[in-house]
Amino acid sequence: MRKEDCFYLGKIVRKHSFKGEVVVKLDTDEPELYQNLESVFVALGNNLVPFFIEESLLQKGNQLRIRFEDVANEDDADAIIGSELYLPLEFLPKLKGNKFYFHEIIGFDIEDVNYGYVGVVKGVNDSSAQPLFEINSNGVDVFIPMIDNFIKKVDRENNKIIVETPEGLIDLYLNQ
């Protein structure tokens, strides 16, 4: 399994007992979706290694206590502390309406209600305070903030997102 085919689930943050149990801090708004998993992929070095779960228990919001097969003592647990957990993309819950996963919209067309066709989503910049659509418009980079009020429709059937941006925003990039 490759990281590109997976999503980040969380990180092993500490040991829970001398029997090898660990606590995972989940990176999700819905931790209950992940409390009965059979297995996860643990990032060890550059590899994703499958770990099978014997028992898990949700505790304190987004923390999941896990007992893995073959992790039977503190030394075994110490070896995986700080490791990231991943699941295959198909485990992500399906989103509806105007909600989407960033990886899902790569290649979608962006159309502005007032401007018309803008370009194709080539990525999402989420390193700023507000995530941005990174759009290729005939070789020119256009950045549109991912603000709920701007996103009018996510059309999954036609791989298109319809936005309504403030007047002049797209012109800043395309009419220089």
pLDDT per residue, tens digit, the chain (176 aa), is 888 889 999 999 999 988 999 999 998 888 998 989 999 999 998 999 999 999 999 998 899 999 999 999 999 999 999 999 999 998 888 888 898 888 889 999 999 999 999 999 999 998 888 999 999 999 999 999 999 999 999 999 999 999 999 999 999 998 86
Question: pTM of the full predicted structure?
Answer: 0.70
Return the CATH architecture of domain 102-174. Answer: Roll (2.30)
Domain boundaries, the chain: 3-91, 102-174
Closest Cα partner for 6 from 106, 92, 105, 108?
Answer: 92
**Architecture (CATH level 2) of domain 3-91:** Beta Barrel (2.40)
Reading phi first (left if > 0) and then psi (alpha if -120 to 50, else beta), residue 90 is in alpha
Tokens 């919209």, located at residue: 105
